[in-house]
Chain A
Amino acid sequence: MTSELAMQQAAEVATERRLLMGNEAIALAAIAAGVNVACGYPGTPSTEIVETIARNNPNHSIHVEWSCNEKAAFELAAGVSYSGGRVIVTCKQVGMNVASDPLMSLAYIGCKGGMVIVVADDPGPISSQTEQDSRQFAQFAHIPVFDPATPEEAWAMTQAAFELSEAHGCPVMLRPTTRVDHACASIEVPLDLASIPRHAIDGFIKHPDFVIFPALSRRAHERMTADLVQISKEFDVCRFNRLDEYVRDDYELYLGIACSGDSRGYVNEALTRLHERAREQGLELPSYRLFEVATPFPFPQKLGRDFLLGLADALVIEELEPVVERSLIQLTGPVAADAYRIDAPCVIHGRLDGTTPVAGEYSTDLLTPILAKFLGVTELVCTQPSCGADAQPAVPPQELIPPRPPVLCAGCPHRASFLAVKKAAGKRDIVYSGDIGCYTLGCNKPLNTTDTCLCMGAGVTIAQGLETAARLAGDSQTLHAGFVGDSTFFASAMTGLANAVYNHHRMCLCVLDNSTTAMTGSQPHPGTGVTLMDTKSKPIDIAAVCRALGCDPVLEVDPLDHAAAVAMAEEALASEGVSVIIFKSPCVQLFKPLVPVTVDAQACRGCGKCVRETGCPALSMASPHEGGARGIAQIDATLCNGCDLCINSCSFNALVSVRDGMPAAQRDAQRREAFRG
């Protein structure tokens, strides 16, 4: 018995150093914390958290699911927590908007089992609609938030978040940003995660406090506020917050720098560079205080006061919104609690006075001159540290760097769907209401088939508003087509479709069904019949749902069967009511490419129509020959997936496919058979 126990303990401390992505670190930390349930809806940069837990769940002791949307995930998570289970729920920042209804009320109800909400923010933004700052959501909802700067800190904070959640009976937010989620670092993790036991679930015990009601909410509002005061005191001594000083004997300390999130890394790196350059020039930076804020809400007030004491000027550096900055300003203003009030006013610089940029991602390069100016050492900023002052680096001419925005993949069935609708509309006016997914890229030339894009599901409902406004203005001719993907259909399009039928809107909804959630890296959804628990479920039939909602006609077609797709689109657009056309063809990321299309060099006349019509990345025109003869079309065989769509755009039969004459159903079967294992 004793030796067994000793072995168990040894196993518990045995660790290995692994290169982990921030999202993987969060996932493994949740497993190490005994998490019982992990759920969420895919969204860059948050997706890998749930995926990693699913991959490290050998005996299925953790329930892992892709919920249909964020609201569903949060409510599921609340139920688990009410029952005493530990749960992690993940989404991207705009997913938090969808889940805001349960979140706001949940803070009032509180929770029992540790509940960690991971909301991934996206400064830049790199892959998002907005640059919203979820730390403000935490303030709005009255829940504490951890703001990691690195993957290794995300690992440690995830475990701390579970502890804090259970200690105070409140959900806790972990707010990483893209450069934490998608950065990797060497991290020490337990060798055998699978042997860590799951948290024991007590089970749901009925109590009136689980029913939100005005009288309860008023009491809860007071309780939440008192709890936050207490948590703020705990954050004052939290190991993640750091207060350091660089002090010179001959220079009074009156400058301070506060920073949070991944900007902490950039600030430290920029300061290191400035110290190095100062040394090289026989100089020294002035004294300064450095405050790294890892728990922005509730703000650690005493630490904040200790930071501000004696300072004349403080610079706050944080991406997105001025959360730390406003908290520090509060400490210097008349509304601060007496205990922490600073009498000598310190001037606070940052976002609010224009010292730091409002929008976009920060970096060491961006912050170095801002810090140098604040510290009064602008002479230390040079463009290239490792070269002499006289050797300015060459700047490449812009024409050598063609812009390369993301595009629909070669062979993407969405391209074929867009072209079919475009062809069916012909010369008639048509407005394309787009949605969130790979197909937002339909906005680019030459397709130009996304005229609006707002948020998940809006492709269905914006079209209804445009149609209504057009009708009221006397325009009954313009066609209105909405576009949503299959995963988006289940996440947030069904209500909008019911609205269209019920309120007599006229529109054609195009569901781009590629059998996956493609944009975020191929996650299953209710239409695929696959779950994260490796079980099968009956795939929900999108056509049957649309018929049940009263849409008519509801058509299904393979978009790569071009002639049939155009005919179906014509029929759907002719409908006076709510028509649906489901374009079904698998995402090219799911299957191995078919034999590429080739160019018949004799037949090609170099007209470029194929390139102009399709915008396929595998197609381009070769350089003109000497003497000025036009270059012919060329196909990048490493990119072409053999969709054969381009063949329809060639008037000279110069694009050749081995599948010529093969029935569309057989081609579709080839794709589906070539699924990647």
Chain B
Amino acid sequence: MANTKVETPQAENFDCLVVGVGGQGVVLASRLIAAACMNEGAFVRTAETIGMSQRGGSVASHVRTGSCAEDVPSSLIPAHEADLVLAFEPAEAVRAYSQLKAGGRMVVAMQPVVPVMAANSGYDGEAQADWLKEHIAPENLAFVDPAVLVASGLSAKCLNVMLLGAAIKLGALPFTKEQLQQAMQKLMKPKLIEMNEKALELGIN
């Protein structure tokens, strides 16, 4: 079991990796984190996967903050330095494990997206979830069940906000629910806000 020292995330010293499968909404999640940190005065860099990998491939967005540009020399988080990994998919969560620092947090959506190369393998993400539970302390690990979204009549596209809600509940983000809501107001189309507010509540509760 890794080091379980719990740290309070700082808006001006925060490295977050958002991973998933192309098309799941990874970029918007990273933009929301970036916007919320910027509102608190942080200098922010992100790196996004855009292009061919978006076609159902593994994608990762890096979000790095500091008090000034020199604080954040590059946009890619080095190995074992992520304070938080936000994973939209269990196998992608395991793939990103080596990015997580000791004592870092991980929030995982149990929404297995079967890779085409493993379409006959019976992949369901359970083995991945079990491995993560073995290697990350329970207070640093949270799972989100996207089925709750659909059961509540919300679009599966709200998964990104639901994951952010779960991360806030875990104390893994350097901003509050209200600050996230401000970022949502800024970045989302008005007609999508109400649905995403509900998804946020589902993630937090």
Interface residues of A (CB under 8 A from B): 17, 19, 21, 44-45, 126-127, 150, 152, 179, 182-186, 262, 265-266, 268-269, 272-273, 363-365, 368, 383-387, 391, 393-397, 400-409, 438, 441, 444-445, 519-521, 608, 611, 615-617, 619-624, 631, 636, 638-639
Say which residue of A17, A384, A406 sits within 8 Å of B56 (CB atoms): A406
Is B53 a contact of A406 with CB atoms below 8 Å?
yes
Interface membership of B113, Cβ < 8 A: yes
Give B32-65 interface residues, CB cut-off 8 Å to A. 34-35, 38, 42-58
- Residues of A near B124 (CB, < 8 A) are 623
- Residues of B near A396 (CB, < 8 A) are 94-95, 97-98, 131, 135
B93-119 CB mask vs A (1 if < 8 Å, else 0) is 011011001110000000001111111
Given contacts A44-B50, A406-B53, A438-B55, contact A400 B75 (CB under 8 A): no
Given contacts A266-B74, A268-B73, A636-B113, contact A184 B45 (CB under 8 A): yes
Is B56 a contact of A363 with CB atoms below 8 Å?
no
Contact segment of B78-86, B137-145, B166-174, B193-201: B78-86
Q: Give the distance in Å from the alpha carbon of A45 to the alpha carbon of B50 in the complex.
A: 8
For residue A626, give the distance in angstroms from its CB to the closest CB of chain B: 12
Is A400 a contact of B73 with CB atoms below 8 Å?
no
Say which residue of A186, A262, A386, A617 sits within 8 Å of B116 (CB atoms): A617
Q: Give the distance in Å from the alpha carbon of A363 to the alpha carbon of B62 in the complex.
A: 13
Given contacts A405-B57, A608-B120, A611-B120, contact A150 B97 (CB under 8 A): no
Given contacts A45-B50, A404-B58, contact A386 B81 (CB under 8 A): yes
- Residues of A near B91 (CB, < 8 A) are 400-402, 404
Q: Give the distance in Å from the alpha carbon of A182 to the alpha carbon of B44 in the complex.
A: 14
Is B80 a contact of A383 with CB atoms below 8 Å?
yes
Say which residue of A182, A441, A445, A623 sits within 8 Å of B50 (CB atoms): A182
Q: Give the distance in Å from the alpha carbon of A269 to the alpha carbon of B75 in the complex.
A: 10
A-B CB contact pairs (8 Å), 25 listed: A19-B35, A126-B49, A127-B51, A179-B76, A183-B48, A183-B75, A184-B48, A186-B69, A269-B73, A385-B80, A387-B3, A391-B3, A394-B2, A394-B97, A396-B95, A396-B131, A396-B135, A404-B21, A404-B57, A409-B55, A409-B56, A441-B52, A611-B119, A615-B119, A620-B119
Classify the interface of chain A: helix, strand, loop or mixed. Answer: loop
Is A393 a contact of B50 with CB atoms below 8 Å?
no
Is B74 a contact of A269 with CB atoms below 8 Å?
yes
Is A406 a contact of B119 with CB atoms below 8 Å?
no
Say which residue of A184, A266, A385, A621 sits within 8 Å of B122 (CB atoms): A621
Is B51 a contact of A44 with CB atoms below 8 Å?
yes
Q: Give the distance in Å from the alpha carbon of A383 to the alpha carbon of B80 in the complex.
A: 8
Is B52 a contact of A406 with CB atoms below 8 Å?
yes
- Residues of B near A262 (CB, < 8 A) are 74
- Residues of A near B131 (CB, < 8 A) are 396-397, 400
Say which residue of A186, A365, A438, A620 sits within 8 Å of B38 (CB atoms): A186
- Residues of B near A615 (CB, < 8 A) are 116, 119
Q: Give the distance in Å from the alpha carbon of A394 to the alpha carbon of B3 in the complex.
A: 12
Is B53 a contact of A127 with CB atoms below 8 Å?
yes
Is A185 a contact of B58 with CB atoms below 8 Å?
no
